[in-house]
């Protein structure tokens, strides 16, 4: 009880207080291990022994000891360091602080696992010739069963989750940093404009979102390249082992060594044949793809979500329908733009798996609007639409729920 109320009610409730407290001096001698309620000031504490009759101290000694013991036992179950004023413990506060990273990680696992078979078909169609999507699915199932569609899933489960988490973290920070720069130098508050109900994308918002996405994409390539190379080698390992797919003499033995290996063994095999630098085979093409693709990806998502929210008459930018459609759309647009770059990267990385360290791999030229560079585009766009629709819906939902933790 606060000191002010204790002083006001002193004459009316003195006896009941003394009976329940069983001696204030005993409490000062045996304080609880953890204090849940704020302690009283020194001045109020010093007055209590003068107001207590000495006979109460003796008579209440035993009961006070039991009471203190019970209070101590109860107090130790909830340390004051674990609970904040709004009811969140330290773990919840940590999750709330890093809600973008937590939501991105969980959503990546869900979206990657549910759509990986489409990614596997896309990679096979990019690197080998099939009559079409159904032909690729049929032949893969006939030769490798269902396992063939999930070959290499371990690498992207780890890498995509890590890459997306870092990517979204960098994107969020870049977005606000670039927005602040624009505000300081041009007097335009991009984030305030985007958050305004009924607003539309403009040159400033498109530029900020695009630059932020490009920054995130260029930063994650160093992490993503080795994992993506490992994933690709696992997806096409059976095809690599086929002699008719190894036109160069002596390449079959190297190519066949990648078959039926897990993620770590595949990484070790790449290092064995091509050295540590081999893990970054195709790095330049990968960097170009991720910089352009991620910039387009976030720019399309943010702008289309803003448009759909405005057209829908909903002031909340977490409108589930807008998020679902914008998520699917950003995947389609980004892949349509960078698909020839991705095809060139995949073909170059595939070819490199048939060469040893020191042997020169012929470069693959990026050719826009050439039919052979767009094999598997439909599959890739469909997969990306599904992945990102699932991802962003889950991401926005989880982020919103974590953010609302203080209100519960």
Q: Contact, 251 vs 201, CB < 8 A? A: no
pLDDT recorded at residue 318: 58
pLDDT recorded at residue 16: 47
Q: Residue 10: pLDDT band by 50, 70, 90 thresholds?
A: very low
Mean pLDDT of 150-179: 86
pLDDT recorded at residue 21: 46
pLDDT recorded at residue 326: 92
pLDDT recorded at residue 379: 83
Sketch the domain layout of the chain as residue ranges. Answer: 3-82, 91-407
Mean pLDDT of 181-185: 96
Is the per-residue pLDDT at 47 higher than 60?
A: no
pLDDT recorded at residue 57: 40
- Which residues lie closer than 8 Å to 273 by C-beta, 6 or more apart? 254, 257, 353, 355, 356, 357
Mean pLDDT of 122-141: 87
Mean pLDDT of 316-333: 84
What token pair was written down for 198? 């009924």
pLDDT tens-digit map of 285-311: 999 999 999 999 999 999 999 999 888
- Which residues lie closer than 8 Å to 394 by C-beta, 6 or more apart? 103, 106, 107, 110, 111
Torsion angles phi and psi, residue 164, rounded to 5: -65, -40
235 or 26, higher pLDDT: 235
- What is the distance between the terminal CA atoms of the chain, rounded to a whole angstrom? 26
Q: Residue 216: pLDDT band by 50, 70, 90 thresholds?
A: very high
45 or 397, higher pLDDT: 397
Is the per-residue pLDDT at 386 higher than 60?
A: yes
**Size of the chain in residues:** 408
pLDDT recorded at residue 72: 44
pLDDT recorded at residue 334: 94
The helix/strand count (H/E) of the chain reads as 18, 0
Least confident span in 70-79, 99-108, 315-324 = 70-79
Q: Residue 406: pLDDT band by 50, 70, 90 thresholds?
A: low
- What percent of the chain is predicted at pLDDT more than 90? 30
* Nearest to 152, CA basis, from 353, 400, 340: 353
Mean pLDDT of 15-42: 42
Torsion angles phi and psi, residue 157, rounded to 5: -60, -40
Between CA 66 and CA 71 the distance in angstroms is 9
pLDDT recorded at residue 8: 42
Is the per-residue pLDDT at 32 higher than 90?
A: no
389, with CB counted inside 10 A (0-12, 13-18, 19+), is buried
pLDDT recorded at residue 289: 96
pLDDT tens-digit map of 219-253: 999 988 998 898 888 888 778 777 777 766 667 77
Place domain 91-407 in its CATH homologous superfamily.
Answer: Mitochondrial carrier domain (1.50.40.10)
pLDDT recorded at residue 80: 44
- Which residues lie closer than 8 Å to 176 by C-beta, 6 or more apart? 191
Q: Residue 70: pLDDT band by 50, 70, 90 thresholds?
A: very low
pLDDT recorded at residue 296: 96
Q: Half-sphere exposure (CA, 13 Å, Cβ side) for 269?
A: 23
Mean pLDDT of 138-159: 83
Is the per-residue pLDDT at 265 higher than 80?
A: yes
pTM of the predicted model, to two decimals?
0.68
């Amino acid at each position: 009880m606060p000191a002010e109320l204790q002083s006001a009610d002193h004459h009316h409730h003195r006896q009941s207080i003394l009976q329940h407290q069983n001696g204030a001096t005993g409490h000062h001698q045996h304080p609880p291990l953890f204090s849940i309620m704020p302690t009283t000031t020194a001045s109020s504490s010093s007055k209590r022994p003068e107001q207590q009759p000495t006979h109460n101290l003796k008579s209440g000694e035993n009961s006070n000891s039991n009471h203190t013991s019970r209070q101590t036992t109860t107090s130790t179950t909830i340390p004051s360091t674990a609970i904040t004023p709004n009811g969140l413990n330290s773990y919840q506060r940590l999750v709330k602080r890093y809600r973008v990273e937590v939501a991105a990680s969980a959503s990546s696992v869900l979206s990657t696992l549910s759509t990986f078979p489409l990614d596997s078909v896309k990679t096979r169609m990019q690197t080998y010739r099939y009559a079409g999507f159904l032909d690729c699915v049929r032949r893969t199932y006939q030769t490798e069963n269902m396992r063939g569609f999930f070959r290499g899933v371990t690498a992207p489960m780890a890498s995509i989750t890590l890459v997306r988490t870092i990517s979204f973290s960098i994107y969020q920070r870049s977005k606000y940093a670039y927005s602040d720069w624009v505000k300081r130098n041009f007097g335009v508050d991009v984030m305030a404009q985007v958050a305004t109900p009924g607003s539309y994308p403009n040159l400033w918002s498109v530029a900020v979102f695009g630059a932020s996405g490009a920054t995130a994409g260029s930063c994650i390539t160093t992490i993503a390249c080795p994992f993506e190379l490992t994933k690709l080698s696992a997806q096409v390992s059976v095809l690599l082992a086929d002699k008719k797919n190894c036109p160069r003499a002596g390449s079959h033995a190297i190519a066949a060594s990648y078959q039926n290996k897990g993620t770590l063994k595949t990484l070790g095999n790449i290092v064995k044949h091509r050295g540590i630098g081999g893990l970054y085979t195709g790095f330049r093409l990968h960097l170009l793809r991720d910089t352009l693709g991620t910039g387009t990806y976030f720019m399309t998502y943010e702008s289309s979500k803003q448009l759909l929210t405005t057209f829908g008459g909903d002031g909340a930018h977490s409108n589930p329908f807008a998020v679902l459609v914008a998520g699917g759309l950003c995947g389609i647009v980004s892949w349509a733009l960078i698909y020839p770059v991705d095809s060139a990267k995949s073909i170059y990385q595939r070819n490199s798996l048939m060469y040893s360290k020191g042997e020169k791999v012929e470069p693959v030229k990026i050719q826009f609007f050439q039919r052979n560079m767009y094999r598997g585009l439909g599959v890739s766009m469909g997969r990306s639409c599904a992945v990102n629709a699932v991802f962003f819906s889950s991401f926005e939902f989880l982020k919103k729920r974590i953010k609302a933790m203080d209100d519960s």
